[in-house]
Chains A and B, each alone.
Chain A
């Protein structure tokens, strides 16, 4: 079994809203997951981990929110605010950084992770730490200019069975945006009540 990128993008928008973000940021979460997965990075699990912590800890410091930081970078078209910074799940900032860099290549690093980002793709050198579980705050996130990589991670068009548990997390958060059904809503909300069986 596999999932379509567009399917997980739509799910991530709802999950981010369900986790407590406004619609506009939630849309950016959908953009980010699709961007990461298409470039071979584990966007689904990164987002699921971050959103579930954000939802669990009401008032989790938004100054360290990778989505808010990413939006600011993208909106201002300026990377300087994240040259040295602290953030949860830094990989989630990558799509927004890519919005800004045009032809440049940059390296986003934290702990032992080095993520190389260019318009055409990404590369990283340390697989095991890229997504930590559970999601924690990194106080040593750095962004710098870098050399164009010799290789990119292979692009992907599907999300595999290995992400099933994280998709379940996103589903549970998305569920919070759905109104419980009542008999009234069943009839009135969809406008039925007429015989449609002729």
Chain B
């Protein structure tokens, strides 16, 4: 596979950053074969990981703890779940919440009784507790009260829930934060990043979420049993798979894409390289074409099942639904029988589809070609220390050239304009979470975070005007420490095509949900449901196999809803 990839990676054309790295397009990205949830499940299946539930000490009120252990070729990891009896008035997805229906940590190994005792005093407190180097992630979830009660009631009476009711929500529990590397004392990423099983991005966090999905099923079945006794039944496998895990994500995650330029470059580059490999193919086989057409039908169904109350997203879904019809129509022609079929289809999409449709098409085009693109996922990660050091001996001319190449778009923006600089990214004292405020209405400018690269690059250009080309960056920074942050960024972005978003991140029209959508699509999320322009609900792992059936099912085949 690696050899094949080397051959196919040479001489490919990738879409330029000026086309890809625009917020409107990034806000239309869809999950793909390279999404991290799918990468994880492929590995777990390929390596025949085993699964156990060593403990399920949960009482009739749903209070207690459970453990879920997974064992691969080299190591065991254990999700420890604490279940709580949460009064309804305390249930909130906001990061400022202080209590949850369930709290979790992913433990590195098999926890002892003492570990569980220690964690029982800390994990339920979330940000107010402390975890250790033995723990890799920390998270919490709330029930979907409506669906949880409905399913409990059905199962307790011995009947299966209606799939139409399940589709309205899509999950029994919704995580509201999944903290990873070094947060609240958790193990530093450096200590596990080189483990084969965590190759790529966010693998342990998404392992935790996948196990949380099983816990949510276990606890609803447990509560049904407590209520219905002998009459209670468990969920049937095909119905059970329709439950994903929800997630509520707010502004806290939005700056991530700006704060991790090298990592974002690796993600986007992975997907664009995969697209380039597919577009380079001279011909598509009959099998590849029929697989693609089937998935277009299933993605179309996914678009039909996608609901939201958010007007902006509603319009986008309506456009996507129309785009899927157009796509089906063009596929009735012989476009895929021609030479360079995928290149032709991509260009057709650019001329005929909206961004939602274009990006859905890109994800679908990768589907028949797992053998060519799947191993790109192992490069979708970054060691951010590598390019941290500023290359101070480079000349001002080099810096000006990089600015002109990467930040040309910023030159045309008047950052003195009150609409162009309307927003301030800051961190609130209350929960130490990123927020977005109005520069001209709130006294928050002194607290501004460095999350406006376009503006800062333009300020740097102005400062460089009086410096001659042959002077060094080191000399400039000795006098202008205030530009050190953006100089570092420009040097990085000059070497990594997709590191920088080509849009104004403090404009009055910027939508944080576009940033969230881009990141979450790389995780593998579906059913994006913005609740405002600043936070979004999504579904993860909907349709995916559960641990007890992974050996028998193909997780990639379940990434789109079944046609029947």
Contacts and interface: CB of A to CB of B under 8 A. Distances in A.
Contact of B532 (A2, A3, A193): A193
B437 A185 contact: yes
B298 interface: no
A1 B430 CA distance: 24
A24 B482 contact: yes
Interface in B154-210: 169, 181-191
Contacts of A99: 389
B231 to A, nearest CB: 28
A74 B389 contact: yes
Contacts of B25: none
Contacts of B313: none
B388 interface: yes
Given A4-B186, A6-B188, A158 B92 contact: no
A182 B482 CA distance: 29
A72 B478 CA distance: 7
B428 interface: yes
B7 interface: no
A55 to B, nearest CB: 15
B389 A178 contact: no
A77 B394 CA distance: 11
Contacts of B482: 22, 24
B393 interface: yes
Interface residues of B, number: 70
B91 interface: yes
A104 interface: no
B315 interface: no
Interface stretch (B14-22, B33-41, B274-282, B442-450): B442-450
B428 A185 contact: yes
A184 B481 contact: no
A189 B429 CA distance: 12
B93 interface: yes
B96 A179 contact: no
Interface string A167-183: 00000000101111110
A31 B388 contact: yes
Report which residue of A22, A180, A191, A193 has the largest number of chain B beta carbons within 10 angstroms of its beta carbon: A191
Interface stretch (B235-243, B341-349, B469-477): B469-477
B558 interface: no
B185 A192 contact: no
A76 B183 CA distance: 34
Interface in B485-534: 485-488, 512, 531-534
A29 to B, nearest CB: 12
A168 to B, nearest CB: 15
A4 B91 contact: no
Contacts of B92: 196-197
A157 interface: yes
A5 B184 CA distance: 11
Contacts of A175: 429
Contacts of A22: 481-482, 484-485
Contacts of A182: 442
Contacts of B188: 4-6, 157
A77 B484 contact: no
Report which residue of A2, A24, A175, A184 has the largest number of chain B beta carbons within 10 angstroms of its beta carbon: A24
Interface in A20-51: 21-25, 27-28, 31
A1 B129 CA distance: 11
B88 A180 contact: no
B535 A24 contact: no
Nearest to B429: A178
B146 interface: yes
Interface in A102-145: none
Interface string B420-431: 000000111110
Given A6-B181, A75-B390, A179 B488 contact: no
Nearest to A30: B388
Interface string B136-150: 000000101110000
Contact of B534 (A25, A158, A180, A190): A190
B182 A6 contact: yes
Query: What are the 8 A-B residue pairs with the smallest beta carbon separation, nearest first?
Result: A24-B484, A191-B534, A75-B392, A6-B182, A189-B435, A4-B182, A75-B474, A181-B430
12 contacts: A2-B185, A6-B188, A23-B485, A24-B482, A24-B484, A179-B429, A180-B429, A185-B435, A190-B250, A190-B251, A191-B534, A196-B92
Given A4-B133, A24-B482, 5 more contacts: A190-B96, A190-B251, A190-B534, A191-B532, A192-B532
